Amino acid sequence: MRHFSLLPLLLLFPLVMTGQVMADFHVVPLPQHCVAQKGKAFALPSLSAIRYEGDSDMERNAHFLASWLKQAYSMEVPVTNSKVKEPAIVLKINAKITEREGYRITVSQRAVTIEGGSAAGVFYGMQTLRKALPVKPEGEVAIPAVVVEDSPRFAYRGMHLDVSRHFFGTDFVKQYIDMLALHHINTFHFHLTDDQGWRVEIKRYPKLTEVGAWRRRTVVGRNTGIYEWKRYGGFYTQDEIRDIVRYAADRYITIIPEIDMPGHMEAVLAAYPELGCTGGPYEVEPNWGVFDDILCAGREETFRFVEGVLDELTELFPSEYIHIGGDEAPRTRWKACPKCQERIRAEHITTKGKQTAEDQLQGYFMKRVEHYLNSKGRKAIGWDELLDCDVTPSTTIMSWRGVEGGVEASKKGHDVIMVPTAWFYFDYYQTPEDYWNKPLLIGGFVPIEKVYSFEPAPDTLPEEARKHIIGLQANLWTEYVYADEFAQYQVLPRMGALCELQWIQPENKNFDSFMTRQRRLNNLYEALGWQYCKYAFLDKKKTLVLAPFFTKSRW
């Protein structure tokens, strides 16, 4: 059970006592244990140094902490791996902490010691300390004598960003990674390709970025038939990708790239029309939605193309998993394509229950791609439509159409990541229908309390199936999210609710407590210059709060 000592009261609120403003470890996500100790607080202005024990990862951690203190309090704190005079902050790995991402913070008058089961655990302990410290204090900052112990519920804690519909530059992607790190999120799902644009350089197929990365027009609004006739797009060079991957790894975040297939491939077909069933003509898609033209499963050139892309992608991204999509792939073209029908006959593919032969053809396609990934030492993740085409249990399923797909997949032995739209699609509105100044979005309503209410591994599931639910994430699709500040606004503060679900045990959830702690985290967002939705925190729900990026239309 979660244990928070109620004495002394200075742990409950940042109080001004004898000129001191106390840190408060009631943060997001809430640590499992926080127990007050006898003794005086640690006075932050007296800090002499940050000392680390260990390798380059621990040295980097120490420099991160030093940079945060400089940013927050203009403190210049030296970093060293040598013995120093107290008071000091000490960072070290403790083999007795059995959870790799677990940590312990011990505070006395002379030292703040942050220990972890690994360098990643130390990093999360540092983030907890960072969030506990007051923002813009009016007085000397002190940290109460306390022991904090914590570890996460789920090993997979994800957040997604779509850069295909609207492109986001490397500076924002790095800022987004910083946002994930602040929230203890360890996996960045990078949606790099879709009908509306291909965003990663593949040297073997240069037309993917010469042609596929650019659309010549973009629909205005919700598929109105009116277009902005302006060339739009962009892509990341391989050097930029390597830089982003290093940046994330330094913050203990794994990037899982997604190349969605066999559907959502019109940008590819515009570049290489011979990979489609009809041969075109195709264009990089200017509209939003699901389209009939997908990769031809009857052509061997298609599989050579996919394998060539994956060869370079796996060189760029060292992640255990590669996301291969599999969602929203209409079979219309396959039903009429002689080559696809010949593949069905050659592979002895037939209908199976409610699954048509073309459904089973997608199963053949995805299994073939997965086997190729396996041969390179990687694993496949796909959307829950893969359950409709009989893929192998070794495929990890991302359940987005609801909870049911995840439940079904877990019972079949698939590992599952829960991403149901009704709780975790952050491109949906977070304000109600009658709110005055909503931006144009895809629709839906996912307020922060709805996010917080979700339970990814319900008690109704058999224990064996529950073990297959390895984590959860939220998705930010960007058909209507066109600017950096807009993306910030859509994910914050809902990312706070997400990270608490990913981290704490279900019996310790309390929405009122969370909202109190989230208000404090909002102060840090503001100090960092990040936009966030204030609606849930307003006293008068009809108060007009106009974010700067809503003051003019994209068009």
Q: Is residue 327 annotated as a catalytic residue, yes or no? A: no
What DSSP state is assigned to residue 296?
-
Q: How far is CA 444 from the centre of its chain?
A: 20
Mention every residue, 6+ apart, whose C-beta is less than 8 A from residue 528.
none
Which residues in the chain land under pLDDT 50? 1-2, 5-17, 551-555
What b/e sequence results for 396-409 when a residue is b if at least 16 CB atoms lie within 10 Å of its CB, and e otherwise?
A: bbbbbbebebbbbb
Q: Give the separation between CA 470 and CA 394, rounded to whole angstroms.
A: 14
Query: Omega into 493 within 30° of 0, i.e. cis?
Result: yes
- What are the residues facing 43 on neighbouring strands? 142
The per-residue pLDDT for range 297-314, each reduced to its tens digit, is 999 999 999 999 999 999
Q: Which residue has the tokens 């007009």?
A: 544
Catalytic, 348? Answer no
Are 129 and 104 a contacting pair, CB within 8 Å?
no
Q: Report the distance separating Cα 272 and Cα 284, nearest Å.
A: 11
- Percent helix, strand, coil in the chain, to 5, is 35, 20, 45
d(CA 531, CA 549): 9
Distance CA 202, CA 314 (A): 11
Q: Residues 26, 183, 184, 264: which is the catalytic one?
A: 264
Contacts by 79-83 with C-beta closer than 8 Å and gap 24+?
Answer: 79/49, 79/50, 79/51, 79/52, 80/49, 80/50, 80/51, 80/52, 81/51, 81/52, 81/53, 81/54, 82/51, 83/51
pLDDT in tens, 341-394: 999 999 999 999 989 999 999 999 999 999 999 999 999 999 999 998 878 899
Collapsing DSSP states into helix, strand and coil, what is residue 473? strand
Q: Letter for the amino acid at 522?
A: N
Q: Measured between alpha carbons, how far is 158 from 168 in angstroms, rounded to an integer? A: 19
Residue in 59, 312, 328, 390 annotated catalytic: 328
Q: The tokens of 97 are what?
A: 């902490």
* Torsion sign (Cα): 251, 508, 495, 547: negative
* Contacts (Cβ under 8 Å, ≥6 apart) of 510: none
Contact (CB, 8 A) for 199 and 213: yes
Is residue 385 within 8 Å of 326, Cβ to Cβ? yes
Query: How many helices, marked H, and strands, marked E, lie in the chain?
Result: 17, 26
- What's the pLDDT score for residue 87? 96
pLDDT of residue 321: 98
Of the listed 194, 201, 484, 500, which one is catalytic?
194
Amino acid of residue 32: Q
Tell me the three state secondary structure of residue 420.
coil
Among 229, 236, 201, CA closest to 215: 229
264 assigned to active site: yes
CA 191 to chain centre: 11
